[in-house]
């Protein structure tokens, strides 16, 4: 067990044990779920210079409104500016930084040293966090970045807990350390990959990765044109570069004791449901740990929650000194549950729902209340907007009322186990 190490609070100058829970948001709906389910901070991207170009991301008007909403709940907002900009792009960086700063963001997440210098000049009141894309793996680099004005370093994912503890011991306590605790792992070192650019022309280092590491590959022989030969480890093929997903929910005590100030959930390209479930699970796990201390053990329902989101096989990454390994049998996800409705209101024993996927009278639905512990109930009756009794909810965004003896809080997500499982 690693020795207990206290964190440093920049605002008060005091030490503390609690770490920040940092959740992703690819769009406004994800942002609202992160807020609702207990994030301490949320990271997102503007319309430019973020390492995820596929999500909707935030224009400045939406960003400003989102920051105001977060600050009203004492939640911080960090903007990713972590691509590796080329010459023609770097000239657009100052205007982006200035406008984002005007929106009230708390920090920029930056990978490029030139962008670090520009942020200090054009947005001096906004903190600067160094992205995992920078590949920080030792205390000397962390020290230099701190001297350059970084208030936080997002460490490379290839580090063990002992490596992290060594960096923490040899850096200024005012420098925060952030690390990923959950989500997809990149097959390349700290995400610095050229495979997508080479195969598809989509540059992963500028936010446009096509994820060719997830593809199924076959072998062609030079003199046998038109023939391919399967390279099979499993019946369905072999996925040569396909890494597992990270999950440290059962080991948060070790992560905190190694000196991590901020625990980060990966997933800016994921759906709002993923953000809600993972944020809720890690929020409860952290709160339980803060309350129980060294006697903490993870509540079984929390671990079960993470099986209810789409994911690849879980593992603990490099934290205990082992490589994360690959999922060689498939390139897809494990999907056990799907969201079937969202609760808009609950009054006098009746829940008002908006449908997301089809469900039926007689179904047992699993309810995830905002920042709460899941529970189940059986749909015994349901009524459409005309007040007519119906047996199923087949139409997307259909409004329904469902009698429920147990109160279903507004904003709850109702889900159903997939039949295929």
Domains in the chain (CATH in brackets) are 7-186+245-315 (3.20.20.70), 337-417 (2.40.30.10)
Nearest to 243 by CA among 118, 144, 327, 354: 327
What pLDDT score was predicted for residue 2? Answer: 36
pLDDT along the chain (421 residues), means of 10: 38 57 95 96 86 74 97 97 87 95 97 95 98 93 97 94 97 96 76 63 66 68 69 56 85 96 94 95 96 94 94 89 61 81 96 96 96 92 95 93 95 87 47
- Those residues whose C-beta lies under 8 Å from the C-beta of residue 387, and which sit 6 or more positions away, are none
Strands (E) across 145-216 are located at 150-154, 176-184
Q: How far is CA 57 from CA 53, 66, 72, 82, 299, in A?
A: 8, 12, 21, 14, 34
What pLDDT score was predicted for residue 187? Answer: 67
What pLDDT score was predicted for residue 238? Answer: 57
Nearest to 122 by CA among 93, 92, 90, 98: 98
What pLDDT score was predicted for residue 231? Answer: 60
What pLDDT score was predicted for residue 3? Answer: 35
Stated pTM of the model = 0.85
């Amino acid at each position: 067990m690693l020795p207990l190490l206290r964190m440093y609070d920049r605002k008060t100058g005091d030490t503390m044990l609690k770490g920040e829970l940092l959740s992703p948001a690819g769009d406004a709906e994800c942002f609202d779920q992160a807020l609702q389910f207990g994030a301490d901070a949320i990271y997102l991207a503007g319309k430019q210079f973020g390492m995820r170009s596929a999500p909707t991301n935030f224009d400045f008007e939406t960003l400003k409104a989102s920051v105001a909403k977060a600050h009203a709940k004492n939640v911080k907002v960090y903007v990713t500016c972590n691509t590796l900009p080329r010459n023609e792009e770097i000239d657009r960086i100052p205007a982006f930084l200035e406008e984002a700063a005007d929106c009230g963001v708390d920090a920029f997440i930056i990978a490029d040293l030139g962008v670090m210098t520009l942020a200090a000049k054009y947005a001096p009141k906004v903190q600067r966090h160094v992205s995992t894309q920078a590949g920080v793996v030792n205390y000397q680099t962390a020290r230099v970045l701190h001297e350059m004005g970084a208030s936080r370093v997002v460490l490379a994912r290839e580090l063990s807990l002992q490596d992290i503890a060594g960096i923490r011991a040899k850096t200024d306590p005012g420098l925060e350390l952030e690390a990923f605790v959950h989500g997809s792992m990149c097959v390349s070192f700290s995400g610095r990959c050229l495979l997508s650019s080479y195969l598809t022309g989509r540059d992963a280092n500028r936010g446009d990765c096509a994820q060719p590491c997830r593809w199924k590959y076959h072998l062609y022989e030079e003199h046998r044109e038109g023939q391919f030969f399967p390279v099979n480890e499993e019946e369905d093929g072999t996925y040569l570069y396909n890494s597992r997903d990270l999950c440290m929910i059962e080991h948060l005590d070790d992560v905190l004791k190694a000196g991590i100030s901020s625990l980060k959930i990966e997933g800016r390209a994921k759906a709002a449901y993923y953000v809600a479930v993972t944020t809720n699970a890690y929020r409860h796990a952290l709160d339980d740990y803060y309350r129980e201390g060294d006697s903490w053990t993870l509540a079984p329902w929390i671990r079960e929650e993470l099986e209810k989101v789409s994911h690849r096989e879980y593992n603990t990454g490099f934290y205990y000194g082992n490589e994360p390994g690959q999922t060689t049998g498939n390139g897809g996800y494990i999907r056990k549950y799907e969201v079937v409705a969202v609760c808009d209101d609950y009054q006098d024993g009746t829940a008002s729902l908006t449908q997301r996927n089809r469900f039926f009278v007689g179904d047992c639905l699993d309810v995830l209340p905002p920042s709460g512990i899941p529970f189940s109930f059986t749909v015994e009756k349901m009524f459409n907007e005309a007040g007519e009794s119906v047996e199923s909810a087949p139409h997307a965004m259909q409004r329904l009322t469902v009698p429920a003896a147990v109160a279903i809080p507004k904003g709850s997500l109702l889900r159903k186990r997939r039949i295929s499982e």
